[in-house]
């Protein structure tokens, strides 16, 4: 799981039927340096499914890979990334 910041949203004209009506976000994951506030500590933006209603600028926990589909079991959804939580604070100590 990675920590990311929401930088935008995505509107789809067509999607897999199991994802109809879903909300999609664009988020930028942080590296350890980014979480510590050091420059250059951000990864490449990614698109993810959001059921938590995260807003622009929110810090979120992102599940990726097979774990992104786990909240929907036993149903199968074609996901690469999922917003697992909205984070209030991050303590690095």
Q: Domain residue spans in the chain?
A: 2-87
Q: What's residue 75's pLDDT?
A: 85
Helix or strand (DSSP H, E) at 49 = strand 46-50
Second-level CATH architecture of 2-87: Beta Barrel (2.40)
Confidence (pLDDT) at 39: 84
Q: Which long-range contacts (CB under 8 A, 24 or more apart) does 29-38 make?
A: 29/2, 29/3, 29/4, 29/62, 30/2, 30/3, 30/4, 30/5, 35/3, 35/90, 35/92, 36/92
Residue numbers in the chain where pLDDT is lower than 70: none
Q: What is the pLDDT of residue 70?
A: 85
Task: Give pLDDT, residue 58.
Answer: 97
pTM: 0.87
């Amino acid at each position: 799981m990675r920590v990311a910041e929401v930088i935008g949203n995505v509107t789809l004209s067509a999607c897999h039927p199991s994802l109809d009506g879903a909300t999609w976000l664009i988020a930028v994951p942080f590296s350890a340096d980014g979480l510590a506030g050091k420059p250059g500590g951000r990864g490449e933006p990614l698109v993810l499914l959001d059921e938590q209603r995260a807003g622009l600028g929110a810090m979120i926990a992102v599940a990726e890979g097979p774990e992104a589909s786990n909240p929907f079991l036993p149903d199968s959804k074609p996901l690469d990334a999922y917003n697992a939580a909205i984070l209030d604070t991050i303590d690095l100590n």
